[in-house]
Structure 1
Amino acid sequence: QTNQELSQHRALKTREKQQNNRVRHKTTVQYATRPDLPRLAYRKLKGKGPGVVFLPGYASNMGGLKAEALEEFCRSLGHSYLRFDYTGCGASEGQMDVLYVLDELVDGPQILVGSSMGGWLMLLAALARPEKIAALVGIATAADHFVTAFNSLPIETKKEIEEKGSWSFPTRHNEEGSYTMSLDFLKEAENHCVLQSPIPRDGDVPWHVSMQVAERVLSKDVDVILRKHAQHRMSEKDDIKLMVYTIDDLIDKLTTLV
């Protein structure tokens, strides 16, 4: 074998070892049992604070690329990390409950990382539990998205949805090519809007929403990072690198302040 072939072989073995280590060290699924409420599935990594909590997007779960990458990152720093399935999604049952995670499953202030709809829930959680929040990182934050998108539909279409009891709309993010949302979900969402003025939207959430969110956050310590060619889910390798580097800087800043 040539030196180049030997180097390639060693590199391959190193990658395989790293992959095996990731599988071996992967956190196990746990279930929180709550009186009169459905079970909630989560994976928890113990470590120092501030901890990180990942909130996935609509129809997503804790097994996504961003959620997995954040666990590896937090493990490398020794920080605690929790990712979970909204009840009604993934391995959980029933209705969504982010506040339960903050109240019962983590200790001390947390860095909330919310993707798409998770960013909307992240903002609502911060309003409800400010003492539990160390910082917020929104990834294509879909604040008020479903409500505004539904309200922008023609009257005839809205009537059809109300009669049917559900709304199906196109998406590029699953094999079926569409998501279906219940009318009950939409009506409940109307009670939890965080932005006041109507915002133009296309199929996904445009970058203007991030600017709207930044304008409404009272803190002066707010950064908006725009990636011109990134897709809504921000799941490409370079997107995940940006997310990890951003949280790395944030943790460094928070621990330095302490």
Structure 2
Amino acid sequence: MSSIQFLTRLSLPRLAYHRISAQNPGIVFLSGFMSSMNAEKAVALENFCRSAGYSYVRFDYTGCGSSEGNFKDCLLRDWKDDVLTVLDNLTTGPQILVGSSMGGWLMLLAGLERPERVAGMVGIATAADSFVTAFNQLPPEVRMEAAKMGEYKRPSKYIEGGMYTIQYNFVKEAEEHCLLQSSIDITCPVRLLHSMNDELVPWQTSLKVAEQLKSDDVDVILRKSGDHRMSRSDDLKLLITVVDDLVHKVTQKEPK
């Protein structure tokens, strides 16, 4: 296991990360909402990269896990900026972004801002636009109450108590980063994994992402079983197989 380090930033909270420095293309893992760099998928990818000899970074967003900052104060743009900071300061050369849930949304946003750095993408239950979509599907009186109270709750079987709180300001700011209503100007190879049993982000979201991507090299892999996290042993094997295949595909395209 790599040791935890901290990326110091001028006047911003420090970001906690683990890194393996090896050959490129490197792999960067982007966690989901309220998750951390110690999730099973992040650690499984690190073990794979270590054995295969690839560079790898996993990290915690501002206010999450071991990173500094206040979670409640964070907006989606803050976490997008965290991803860009990690790309700019902790990696060199072409990278493959692997994004889980909200991390898949951030993966797409980062790819739009750093197309020259992102050689490929693997999304796991990619949650593009998901906070906004889910909020807009709430009854009008619930949305009005959320605006008045400044927050609202969503059920989740993944956290203690079965409910988590989302700040109203977070959802409203996230509207500025929605992608699914127009073409997504990303041309690198993209692989999208999704469980058809996903109870948080419908698997059709990955199909919509695939439709909107400019890239023609896009595969969507649906699993009939499993859940949103896709962290079972079979899910992890699939993820590693897909990442390994994409690394080889990207490497063949690199100039000799």
Smaller-chain TM-score bracket: 0.7 to 0.9
1:22-61 per-position Cα deviation (integer Å, ceiling 9, x unaligned): xxxx101111111111111100011000000000100000
**Shift of residue 81 of structure 1?**
0.2
Stretches of structure 2 lacking an aligned partner (at least 5 in a row): 183-197
Identity of aligned residues (%): 59
**Shift of residue 158 of structure 1?**
0.6
Give yes or no for contact 1:85–1:92 (8 Å, CA) kept in 2. Answer: yes
Give yes or no for contact 1:38–1:87 (8 Å, CA) kept in 2. Answer: yes
**Shift of residue 203 of structure 1?**
4.4
Corresponding residue for residue 6 of structure 1: none
Aligned pair 1:190/2:136, yes or no? no
Corresponding residue for residue 87 of structure 1: 62
Corresponding residue for residue 67 of structure 1: 42
Give yes or no for contact 1:141–1:210 (8 Å, CA) kept in 2. Answer: yes
Aligned pair 1:119/2:113, yes or no? no
Corresponding residue for residue 99 of structure 1: 84
Corresponding residue for residue 170 of structure 1: 155
Give the aligned residue type for 1:208. Q
Aligned pair 1:248/2:244, yes or no? yes
Alignment of 1:120-159 (within 5 A): 120-159=105-144
- C-alpha separation in 2, matches of 1:220 and 1:203: 28
Work out which of the residue numbers 201, 208, 212 in structure 1 matches 2:204.
208
Alignment of 1:4-43 (within 5 A): 26-43=1-18
1:124-146 per-position Cα deviation (integer Å, ceiling 9, x unaligned): 00011111101000000000000
SS in 1 for 2:116: helix
Work out which of the residue numbers 18, 24, 28 in structure 2 matches 1:53.
28
Aligned pair 1:222/2:207, yes or no? no
Corresponding residue for residue 20 of structure 1: none
- C-alpha separation in 2, matches of 1:239 and 1:203: 16
**Shift of residue 167 of structure 1?**
1.4
More strand by share: 2
CA RMSD, Structure 1 to Structure 2 (Å) = 1.2
Give the paired residue count.
229
Give yes or no for contact 2:199–2:227 (8 Å, CA) kept in 1. Answer: no
- C-alpha separation in 2, matches of 1:77 and 1:126: 24
SS in 2 for 1:248: helix
- C-alpha separation in 2, matches of 1:240 and 1:161: 37
- C-alpha separation in 1, matches of 2:237 and 2:110: 26
Stretches of structure 1 lacking an aligned partner (at least 5 in a row): 1-25
Give yes or no for contact 1:171–1:203 (8 Å, CA) kept in 2. Answer: no
Give yes or no for contact 1:140–1:205 (8 Å, CA) kept in 2. Answer: yes
Calculate the TM-score normalised by the size of structure 1.
0.86
- C-alpha separation in 1, matches of 2:164 and 2:116: 35
Give yes or no for contact 2:129–2:180 (8 Å, CA) kept in 1. Answer: yes
SS in 2 for 1:226: strand
**Shift of residue 104 of structure 1?**
1.1
- C-alpha separation in 2, matches of 1:232 and 1:57: 11
SS in 2 for 1:130: coil
More helix by share: 1
- C-alpha separation in 2, matches of 1:100 and 1:221: 27
Give yes or no for contact 1:144–1:194 (8 Å, CA) kept in 2. Answer: yes
SS in 1 for 2:219: coil
